[in-house]
Amino acid sequence: MAGRPTDFTEELALKICSEISVTTLGLKSLCKLHEDFPSHATIFNWLATNKAFLDLYTRAKEMQAENIADEMLEIADDGSNDLMTIVKGDQSYEMENKEVTSRSKLRIETRKWISSKLLPKKYGEKIQQDITITGVETTVTGTEPPEGE
């Protein structure tokens, strides 16, 4: 019985990063899905000890953020189950299926958060700071003070 690989190879590292870059699944899920991948703990150890792999993995996760953003659009645009038909006697009417719309909102919010962490400059919250300084004296070096001071 061979088991999961534990030895780092460039070929396996490329395969892992290639898969990450084209999916929205997390590393733990990918490792469960692919029997030829090591455990996610092994991959984290590789990331801690191999700068080249860390750089490749970082780029793959950035590409994954783009896939996650695309997925948010798909979720938001899919209204196929947003309404349900209610029948009372001989009357029927449609109303919002709040379970479906709430789940869609949660799915989008989760992906927004992940994207903001993977690509903070692109998907993170923009923070604007207004700084007001009052009561600060300014000193100019190399000139004489005005007369009378």
Closest CA to 33 of 43, 25, 22: 25
pLDDT in tens, 56-71: 999 999 999 999 999 9
**What global pTM score does this model have?**
0.71
For the stretch 37-46, contacts whose Cβ atoms lie closer than 8 Å and that sit 24 or more positions apart, written own/partner, are: 37/4, 37/5, 37/12, 38/4, 38/5, 38/6, 38/12, 39/4, 42/4, 42/5, 42/6, 43/16, 46/8, 46/13
Say how many CA atoms lie within 13 Å of 73 toward its Cβ: 5
Residue 5 — pLDDT band, cuts 50, 70, 90? confident
Q: What are phi and psi of 94, to 5 degrees?
A: -105, 145
What pLDDT sits at residue 1? 44
Q: 3-12, 32-41, 129-138 — which is least confidently predicted?
A: 129-138
Q: Is residue 21 a contact partner of residue 60, using CB atoms and an 8 Å limit? A: yes
Q: Is the pLDDT of residue 138 over 80?
A: no
Mean pLDDT across the chain: 89
Q: Is the pLDDT of residue 145 over 70?
A: no
Say how many CA atoms lie within 13 Å of 122 toward its Cβ: 11
Q: Is the pLDDT of residue 137 over 80?
A: no
Residue 112 — pLDDT band, cuts 50, 70, 90? very high
Q: Which two tokens stand for residue 10?
A: 């460039």
Q: Is the pLDDT of residue 119 over 80?
A: yes
What pLDDT sits at residue 130? 75
